[in-house]
Structure 1
């Protein structure tokens, strides 16, 4: 029987993780807790950086922006999932799905670019310390963040426009907890060759390019650290990069895990579970990675809440 195309569909169904009623309260409590930890932890980073003038440096300026983006990133998907679990409804309207795709791509792109900018900041600080304040001036810092926003917004807009040209079949079930771009493209009845080409090209250019720069930066950083004579100097130089390197590894490794799981056959459920790592777990862990061993962040928070150093 021929499937009927419908370019004016009104809604999709988000299948989520499990249809078992007994698991719904557990899933709701788990994801609500993770979401609140993510929002609260990243807000503390922003609060610490904005309240302490000693933290008004390029490194912490980029960190505050990353924390803001992580809050927005998780807020794009988790609240809708929580509502669906609570109401036992899996429906998401077509317009909401398109909007979710736009903001999801926007904020994950910003995460990618900001991590790259932060790698450049560490590269200049360690490899060109005498010129650091000249190179990483406030104007350049703002420009780097602005360019990151513009590039992410344009890429997200392009992907959305490519989705809007698609027509869909009567089967509109998304085996995921949010409107993931690849899953939406797979549901289309119209030709998706151009969509796939744009998606793959953007991935190579906008993910592969920044990743290559991060790897290059750290190769130079490691080379510079090896040239430091004292062990204490080596430790101090590496400690300034350790948190960022941990977050970069977590971000790209979880993203690679999602890609590999989605490429495997019969992997829809596995892909949804893997997606939790970079959509929920990574933004939740970032504040802990950046703050627990950072005396400046902890000191700023202590001063803010206690009112004294």
Structure 2
């Protein structure tokens, strides 16, 4: 009678000691020049981190940049920093150490932050379009419509919308039974890559992901493009060449940001059979988590005279302090 009891006890212990960690297969398995690629990613990530931190510092310290447009832009930079910092350091550490494991908690954290920030960015960029629409089409009512309180509400809604939506998807994804050997074909815990390791029928949930993608990507993009039709009509009716060029400059910068954020997202989540092309998805995610945070300050901010003047002022103050101390 003792043998079955011992056998069952061993099975229970075996189930309790079943590993919960995941293995990240990394990007481009078999790539010969992986050290060069990792070094390049590290350099771009460092430059992106520094440029976004500098932009946040300038917006916080210079009162001339305390406007709705720059406040929303500061939130976009903060989201870029959050997204990159939750993915790239772990990826670099795994690449350098040779270890490809990631704990269950760390994997869930990556899923939550990557989805949360990605959704929040889409909402925020849509609000930035509303800001441009009011500034160009209703300039006399701009300070009333886009007040500091409204800007805070926009930022809060973007962060909260992303976090709540992501929380639901993270909870659903991690409750599924994962097949051994728990290998994720990606360089981080991305929700679609994790779902490829599930042993259950998740066709209903995959449809829910598609619906979420349409709501988060297609509807905001439609609203943005529709708004720009009205904006460009208003710009063409402007009599002042200087005002027209300034309006076109800010609109072109925002459209660049729209392309940087919405383009990769639509290719990943709204392309038929996207789950069957992991290598292409990894390239798009590298673009979104490394290049986009690097290009965003360059496209939207450091081409702007106001930001450049603020940077010169900050550098001048630093030099004066250095001379005084010496």
Shared fold (TM-score, shorter chain, > 0.5)? yes
Contact 2:133-2:231 within 8 A present in 1 as well: yes
Q: 2:231 aligns with which of 221, 227, 230?
A: 221
Q: 1:69 aligns with which of 76, 79, 93?
A: 79
Q: Secondary structure at the match of 1:280?
A: helix
State how far apart, in whole Å, the 2-side matches of 1:100 and 1:264 are: 20
Residue number in structure 1 paired with 2:54: 44
Contact 2:86-2:114 within 8 A present in 1 as well: yes
State how far apart, in whole Å, the 2-side matches of 1:293 and 1:165 are: 46
State how far apart, in whole Å, the 1-side matches of 2:203 and 2:28 are: 32
Residue number in structure 2 paired with 1:179: 189
State how far apart, in whole Å, the 1-side matches of 2:120 and 2:164 are: 11
Q: Secondary structure at the match of 1:187?
A: coil
The CA RMSD over aligned residues, in Å, is 2.1
Moved more, 275-284 or 151-160: 275-284
1:198 Cα offset (Å): 2.1
Contact 1:9-1:168 within 8 A present in 2 as well: no
Query: Are positions 1:212 and 2:222 aligned together?
Result: yes
Q: 2:310 aligns with which of 292, 296, 300?
A: 300
Moved more, 282-291 or 190-199: 190-199
Residue number in structure 2 paired with 1:96: 106
Please identify the structure whose Cα radius of gyration is greater: 2
State how far apart, in whole Å, the 1-side matches of 2:276 and 2:156 are: 40
State how far apart, in whole Å, the 1-side matches of 2:182 and 2:61 are: 48
Q: 1:271 aligns with which of 273, 281, 304?
A: 281
Residues 1:252 and 1:21: Cα distance change in structure 2 (over 3 Å): closer
Residue number in structure 2 paired with 1:254: 264
1:153 Cα offset (Å): 0.8
Residues 1:146 and 1:102: Cα distance change in structure 2 (over 3 Å): same
Query: Are positions 1:137 and 2:147 aligned together?
Result: yes
Aligned pairs for 1:136-215 within 5 A: 136-215=146-225
State how far apart, in whole Å, the 2-side matches of 1:141 and 1:230 are: 29
Residue number in structure 2 paired with 1:119: 129
Contact 1:175-1:272 within 8 A present in 2 as well: no
Residues 1:248 and 1:21: Cα distance change in structure 2 (over 3 Å): closer
1:67 Cα offset (Å): 0.6
Residues 1:301 and 1:210: Cα distance change in structure 2 (over 3 Å): same
Aligned pairs for 1:232-243 within 5 A: 232-243=242-253
Residue number in structure 1 paired with 2:119: 109
State how far apart, in whole Å, the 1-side matches of 2:274 and 2:216 are: 23
Query: Are positions 1:85 and 2:69 aligned together?
Result: no
Contact 2:192-2:275 within 8 A present in 1 as well: no
Residues 1:21 and 1:137: Cα distance change in structure 2 (over 3 Å): closer
Contact 2:76-2:124 within 8 A present in 1 as well: yes
Q: Deviations over 1:90-119 (max 9, x none)?
A: 111122111110011011111111111111
Q: Secondary structure at the match of 2:23?
A: strand
State how far apart, in whole Å, the 2-side matches of 1:265 and 1:205 are: 19
Contact 2:193-2:275 within 8 A present in 1 as well: no
Q: 2:38 aligns with which of 28, 44, 66?
A: 28
